[in-house]
Amino acid sequence: MLIGACHCGQSRWTLQGDPGSITACNCTLCRRYGALWAYDYEAERIRLEGPTSSYTRSGKEASSLEILFCPTCACVLSWRGLHLEHDGRRRMAVNVRLAPPEAVQDLAIDHFDGLETFEDLPSRNLCVRHLWF
């Protein structure tokens, strides 16, 4: 299980099981936040605890989402889709930059062009540690 916490420690997330590869996105929000995302579904493998505030990003239906952050220290915890998937589940991602570096340093990073093409970019064979150390 991975655990991430905001700077002040009031808000946190958990992700059960293998997080898979981590996504670095260049959309207008992600490039400002510097977040690295691990995905699943709300109330399934991802759980949030503690207070959160939100910022709603609207746009194309596929990109409408809510950014959740700590209301005290403003660390970005996660995003969640504003629309349910066809199976009734809500897509969600947590910011792995809030996890201890040693817990996530070997996770592979996928790069995603959320700015223009909305497609995966060629692999650079990088792991989280390449961005931190």
**Mean of pLDDT values over 99-109:** 95
CATH of the domain at 112: 2.170.150.70
* Three-class SS state of 98: helix
| DSSP state letter for 42 | B
pLDDT of residue 94: 98
pLDDT of residue 121: 87
In which residue are the tokens 């746009």 written? 59
Cα separation, 104 vs 1, in Å, equals 11
Domain around 10: 2-132
| pLDDT at residue 69 greater than cutoff 60 | yes
Question: What totals of helices (H) and strands (E) does the chain contain, helices first?
Answer: 3, 11
The tens digit of pLDDT for each residue in 9-59 reads: 999 999 999 999 999 999 888 989 999 999 999 999 999 999 999 999 766
| pLDDT at residue 61 greater than cutoff 70 | no
Cα separation, 115 vs 117, in Å, equals 7
The helix (H) or strand (E) run that includes residue 128 is helix 128-132
pLDDT of residue 32: 93
Cα separation, 101 vs 81, in Å, equals 27
Among left, alpha and beta (phi > 0; psi -120 to 50; other), residue 20 is left
In which residue are the tokens 């503690």 written? 50
| pLDDT at residue 133 greater than cutoff 90 | no
Q: What is the pTM of this model?
A: 0.90
| DSSP state letter for 48 | E
Tokens of 84: 């349910």
Q: Across the chain, what does the average pLDDT equal? A: 92
Per-residue confidence band for 60, with pLDDT thresholds at 50, 70 and 90: low
**Mean of pLDDT values over 97-117:** 93
